[in-house]
Amino acid sequence: MKAMVLTSFRSPAEKPLELRDVPIPVVGPEDILIKIRCCGVCHTDLHIVEKELPDARLPLIPGHEVIGVVAGAGENAGRFRPGQRVGAAWLRSTCGKCRFCLSGRENLCESARFNGYHADGGYAEYMVVGEKFAYAIPERFGDAEAAPLMCAGIVGYRALVLSEVRPGDILGLYGFGGSAHIAIQVAKHLGATVFVVTRSAKHQQLARELGADWVGTSQEEPPAKTTNAILFAPVGSLYLDALRVMDRGGTVVSAGIHMSPVPEMDYDRYLYHERKMRSVANATRLDGEGLLEVAAEIPVKTNIQTFPLEAANDALRELKAGRIDGAAVLKIG
């Protein structure tokens, strides 16, 4: 099969991924083999390629926003029928036995493994995943449109849950890429007012088109204090920007897997009055099911820019430069 393989950690401008012929992966007893149609290009892939996340192995096929069809199954796998459309996301496996797994927090499992990081992912024609960690994809989404839902959508959904946003709240979104442009649609569906903070003129325009109630930069004062906020850009100083304009008792959630250092802050100015800082660590399968259900109900519209598989380096380069309006997706086969 064809795959884009990471052979050394370096900037996308230096073309770290090589197009190679590699064997189709072997299916285990409880696995399914996915013939991949599309794979989203996530900011986490960029962190892996540039070695901002530890312990990634080489060689590695990145990618964890996978949409395809079942092309094979192990002897104990019967959840999906042959040819059924399925998706794979970031979470690949958990132990199922630890205190986190047993309390509905499998995203915190210390034995968790992740697609496109600990095991080969979706920048390829085929991929193997455990059937328990795959998703049935609602029919109302096309393949390319569904791909960003598998991580950008799921993580944004979990961030919304952790932000404790409610109808009538004022939610601030900091950064407006693949995840935020999905999260705003869910937040508006929930009845929240949404303020978007981003420097990019293109991203500001997309935010307005998707229903943002106010759009500006972090140097501007929004028209009201926020009650909740989500940081999608991996910039630690945004915590201060968000807390500065947040009402008492508000919550700021970082949705990123990696972030630059958070600056020292004045406790009385930024954190006092029961303001909270939280992080999102991965997501559970229930988050994935919840996101797909509400996304189909709305229905969410993903703004995508497509690339052929062999142009994965170009997609990562454009993502790093902030030139992707929405989400990047590799079309495969």
Give 41's strand partners: 328
Cα dist. 268→163, 274, 277 in Å? Answer: 21, 11, 14
The pLDDT tens digits of the residues spanning 236-246 come to 999 999 999 99
Report the pLDDT averaged over residues 121-139: 98
Fold (CATH) for 153-279: Rossmann fold (3.40.50)
Quote the pLDDT of residue 231: 98
Residue 83 carries which side chain, given as an amino acid letter? G
The pLDDT tens digits of the residues spanning 58-111 come to 999 999 999 999 999 999 999 999 999 999 999 999 999 999 999 999 999 999
CB 147 within 8 A of CB 199: no
Quote the pLDDT of residue 194: 98
Q: Is the pLDDT of residue 147 over 90?
A: yes
**By C-alpha distance, which of 220, 261, 213, 260 is closest to 244?**
220
**By C-alpha distance, which of 259, 254, 242, 300 is closest to 281?**
254
Quote the pLDDT of residue 55: 84
**By C-alpha distance, which of 115, 95, 97, 151 is closest to 32?**
115
Report the pLDDT averaged over residues 194-222: 96
CB 106 within 8 A of CB 112: yes
Question: Where in the chain are the domains?
Answer: 2-150+284-331, 153-279
Across the chain, mean pLDDT equals 97
**Lowest mean pLDDT across 31-35, 95-99, 218-222:** 218-222
Could you tell me the pLDDT band of residue 266, with boundaries at 50, 70 and 90? very high
Report the pLDDT averaged over residues 15-42: 98
Quote the pLDDT of residue 174: 98
Report the pLDDT averaged over residues 205-232: 97
Cα dist. 6→20, 25, 63, 120 in Å? Answer: 10, 17, 11, 10
CB 44 within 8 A of CB 151: yes
CB atoms inside a 10 Å sphere around CB 26: 10
Spatial separation of the C-alpha atoms in residues 63 and 331, rounded to whole Å: 12
Phi, psi of 79 (to 5 degrees): -70, -35
**By C-alpha distance, which of 314, 234, 301 is closest to 43?**
234
The pLDDT tens digits of the residues spanning 267-326 come to 999 999 999 999 999 999 999 999 999 999 999 999 999 999 999 999 999 999 999 989
Q: Is the pLDDT of residue 6 over 90?
A: yes
Spatial separation of the C-alpha atoms in residues 185 and 208, rounded to whole Å: 11
Quote the pLDDT of residue 317: 98
CB 4 within 8 A of CB 18: yes
CATH code of the region 2-150+284-331:
3.90.180.10
Quote the pLDDT of residue 261: 96
Q: What is the DSSP string of 157-224?
A: HHHHHHHT--TT-EEEEES-STTHHHHHHHHHHHT-EEEEE-S-HHHHHHHHHTT-SEEE-TTSPPSS
Spatial separation of the C-alpha atoms in residues 154 and 205, rounded to whole Å: 24
Could you tell me the pLDDT band of residue 52, with boundaries at 50, 70 and 90? very high
**By C-alpha distance, which of 16, 76, 73 is closest to 47?**
16
Quote the pLDDT of residue 333: 80
CB 327 within 8 A of CB 145: no
